[in-house]
Chains A and B, each alone.
Chain A
């Protein structure tokens, strides 16, 4: 029997891996990948809970919206990352640090 807890544990793992990716990868695109992982973890949660919400289908619909929103965000994010690349010739976030407290 697959219980709710199974899903939650998996999603927690994915979420934390996503978080780790965001925090550690030295490439803006990989950070976006990490964000997508976190969103996927959330979506997994939604669908797992949504199983019990037959009346409003809230979970599944939220998941669908989330996928769409994430996709749009990625599109915009990538466009901006490319813009940075044009100016800096790198997308390593550690090297993009002109704006800081001086």
Chain B
């Protein structure tokens, strides 16, 4: 049951991603991206990362995607028209060089993964043996919170500065238009 669901999510993610890249219409593509992100969040759940999945939906779907849509709207008014006029086909033709490259990487990685499949890393084996895996009943949110405040306190603080800077920067970069 679980595995079927996993496959379903996986197929959904990969399928929409494939469709996404071949769509000519960018608005539709961004919608598909939305689906991919959801599917990915679903996959995170199977790795027992519930908090990550939630964050994914919150940040990506709530933030990133909306941002992209806005950006698209701002930039592609004329382009949209052009595309609609000229495009007879629904899908754009893939670029063979990029395809070759991507497939090359994929083949290598799949080979690598199958090679790796034969020898599970020691630390994972140990975790399995010692039963120190995360199990569905763990309260991940609490654990993560604790670790943010201890082990990862420095990155946590730094990223706050980082976000502040990104905020200032992004706002500065876009403020310009109003100045003009």
In their complex, do chains A and B touch, with some C-beta pair under 8 Å?
yes
Query: Which of A's residues lie within 8 Å of B, judged by CB?
Result: 1-10, 12-21, 23-25, 27, 29-30, 32-34, 36-37, 40, 43-44, 47-57, 59-61, 63-65, 67-76, 78-83, 85-86, 89-91
Q: Is the CB of A2 within 8 A of B20?
A: no
Chain A residues within 8 Å of B13, by CB = 10, 14
The reply to whether B26 and A27 contact each other, CB–CB distance below 8 Å, is: yes
Interface pairs A-B: 3 shortest CB-CB: A79-B173, A72-B166, A20-B102
B17 at the interface (CB under 8 A from A): yes
Contact A44 B40 (CB under 8 A): yes
Q: Once the chains are docked, how many angstroms separate the CA of A23 from the CA of B59?
A: 25
Cα separation A84 to B127 with both chains bound (whole Å): 50
Chain B residues at the A interface, C-beta cutoff of 8 Å: 2-3, 6, 10, 13-14, 17-18, 20-21, 26, 29-30, 33, 36-37, 40, 43-44, 46-49, 51-52, 55-56, 59-60, 63-64, 67-68, 71-72, 74-76, 78-79, 94-95, 97-99, 101-103, 105-106, 109-110, 113-114, 116-117, 120, 123-124, 127-128, 132-134, 138, 140, 143-144, 147-148, 151-152, 155, 159, 162-163, 166-167, 169-170, 173-174, 176-177
Q: Which residues of A sit under 8 angstroms from B176, Cβ to Cβ?
A: 83
Cα A59 to Cα B14 with chains together (Å): 22
**Known contacts A36-B60, A67-B56, A71-B64; A30 and B26 CB within 8 A of each other:** yes
Assess whether A20 is in contact with B21, with CB atoms less than 8 Å apart: yes
Q: Are A20's CB and B127's CB within 8 A?
A: no
**Residues of A contacting B151 in the complex (Cβ-Cβ under 8 angstroms):** 56
Contact A83 B173 (CB under 8 A): yes
Closest chain A CB from B17 CB (angstroms): 4
A9 partner residues in chain B, CB cutoff 8 A? 110, 113
CB-nearest residue of chain B to A70: B64
Q: In the complex, what distance in Å separates the CA atom of A18 from the CA atom of B74?
A: 24
* A-B CB contact pairs (8 Å), 24 listed: A2-B2, A5-B117, A6-B10, A8-B116, A10-B43, A14-B36, A16-B106, A19-B102, A20-B94, A20-B102, A23-B97, A25-B21, A27-B26, A36-B60, A40-B56, A44-B44, A47-B52, A53-B127, A60-B140, A67-B59, A68-B59, A74-B67, A79-B170, A79-B173
CB-nearest residue of chain B to A1: B3
Of the candidates A16, A19, A64, A81, the one whose C-beta lies within 8 Å of that of B52 is: A64
Asked whether, in the complex, the Cβ of B113 is within 8 Å of the Cβ of A5, the reply is yes
